[in-house]
């Protein structure tokens, strides 16, 4: 990872979003009895959120790690979408070969996966010179959300509002990032928590801190936090970035208040938070989903040499 190029990749997000063309991307999909989304890492994080949205809309859809030895049974009618920014993930290549049915590749670059695919949908994120899947992660989410829109007749993906939110965070970084650096990058690591419907944000944010400056970071779901992560608030210097908006936030915050944990809130006012960061359109859940990882990405890009 090149910190300088990683930061440049992040600063290029608004322009790449303006250049993104969603027109007709999924017109070839006229319906599917079932959808299987395959991927690894960031791709799988995005897949999980979109598969849940499709199921909530009554469409049979699952997201699977391509490395799984227990992939679902598929037919020629199943819409299989293999997601890999590099189009070279060996696990994803192995999965589509094992399935042996035509599939759609969602990729940022040509590679072995696109060579095997029946059709390719391009992420259009441009070259990520920092070596970190940051823009391609955001573009993956946008394109898959556009698939949901296409299949359900829902509203358009709020790309313009996302651009405004991203530009605001970039322009005001000097005002908030040093304080978040101080509050969140603790000796016992950083914990990022998000609602189930935006779980990709917590997982991707934590990954950025691990992949970039090699810092300890873990992502968790807001409700599940009280069952799996709460224990660490009693024994460690616990630092949390709360991507707010879950109906389980109050349960979580009751524990952090009792234990004196450090909580930074993003996207919603939390009275006991050590710091609250807002951005334009953070009352729109889709804008949050497409924007909030930028906070951890900027922390990661500036934290070089600490891990």
pLDDT tens digits for range 259-276: 999 999 999 999 899 999
CATH 3.40.50.10490 in the chain: give the residue spans: 3-152, 159-302
Element (H, E) at 164: helix 159-171
Distance CA 278, CA 92 (A): 37
What's the whole-number average pLDDT of the chain? 96
CB 263 within 8 A of CB 272: yes
Which residues, at least 6 apart from 193, have a Cβ–Cβ distance to it below 8 Å? 202, 219, 220, 221, 222, 225, 229, 240, 241, 242, 243, 252
Which residues, at least 6 apart from 30, have a Cβ–Cβ distance to it below 8 Å? none
* Burial of 116 from C-beta contacts in 10 A (0-12 / 13-18 / 19+): middle
pLDDT cut 90: percent of the chain above it: 96
Mean pLDDT to the nearest integer, 144-170: 97
CB 285 within 8 A of CB 244: no
Q: pLDDT band for 229, please (50, 70, 90 cuts).
A: very high
Which residues, at least 6 apart from 160, have a Cβ–Cβ distance to it below 8 Å? none
> What's the confidence (pLDDT) of residue 32?
80
Rg (CA), the chain: 19
The region that residue 267 occupies, defined by phi over 0 for left and psi between -120 and 50 for alpha, beta otherwise, is left
Query: What dotted CATH number matches 3-152?
Result: 3.40.50.10490
Q: What is the DSSP string of 108-140?
A: SS-SHHHHH-SEEEE------TTSS-SHHHHHH
What values do phi and psi take at 142, rounded to 5? -60, -45
The CATH number for 159-302, chosen from 1.10.357.10, 3.40.50.1980, 2.60.40.10, 3.40.50.10490, is: 3.40.50.10490
Q: What confidence tens digit (pLDDT) does each residue in 93-117 have? A: 999 999 999 999 999 999 999 999 9
Distance CA 127, CA 214 (A): 22
Nearest to 86 by CA among 115, 62, 63, 57: 115
Distances (CA, A) of 289 to 155, 185, 245: 15, 22, 11
> What's the confidence (pLDDT) of residue 304?
59
> What's the confidence (pLDDT) of residue 307?
39
Mean pLDDT to the nearest integer, 56-68: 97
């Amino acid at each position: 990872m090149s910190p300088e190029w990683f930061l440049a990749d992040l600063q290029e997000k608004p322009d790449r979003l303006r250049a993104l063309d969603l027109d007709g991307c999924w017109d070839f999909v006229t319906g599917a009895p079932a959808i299987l989304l395959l991927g690894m890492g960031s791709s799988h994080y995005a897949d999980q959120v979109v598969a849940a949205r499709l199921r909530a809309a009554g469409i049979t859809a699952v997201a699977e790690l391509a490395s799984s030895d227990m992939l679902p049974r598929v037919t020629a009618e199943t819409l299989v979408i293999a997601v890999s920014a590099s189009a070279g993930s060996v696990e994803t290549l192995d999965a589509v070969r094992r399935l042996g049915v035509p599939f759609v590749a969602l990729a940022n670059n040509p590679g072995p996966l696109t060579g095997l695919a029946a059709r390719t949908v391009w992420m259009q994120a441009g070259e990520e010179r920092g070596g970190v899947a940051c823009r391609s992660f955001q573009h993956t989410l946008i394109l898959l959300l556009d698939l949901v829109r296409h299949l359900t007749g829902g509203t358009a993906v709020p790309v313009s509002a996302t651009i405004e939110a991203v530009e605001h965070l970039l322009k005001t970084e000097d005002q908030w990032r040093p304080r978040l650096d101080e509050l969140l990058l603790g000796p016992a690591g950083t914990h990022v928590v998000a609602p189930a419907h935006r779980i990709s944000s917590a997982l991707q944010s934590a990954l950025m801190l691990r992949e970039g400056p090699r810092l300890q970071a873990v992502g968790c779901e807001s409700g599940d936090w009280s069952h799996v992560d709460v224990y660490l608030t009693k024994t460690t210097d616990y630092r949390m970035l709360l991507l707010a908006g879950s109906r389980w936030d109050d349960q979580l915050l009751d524990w952090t208040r009792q234990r004196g944990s450090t909580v930074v809130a993003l996207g919603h006012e939390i009275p006991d938070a050590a710091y609250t960061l807002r951005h334009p359109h953070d009352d729109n859940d889709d804008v949050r989903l497409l924007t909030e990882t930028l906070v951890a990405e900027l922390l990661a890009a500036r934290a070089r040499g600490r891990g």
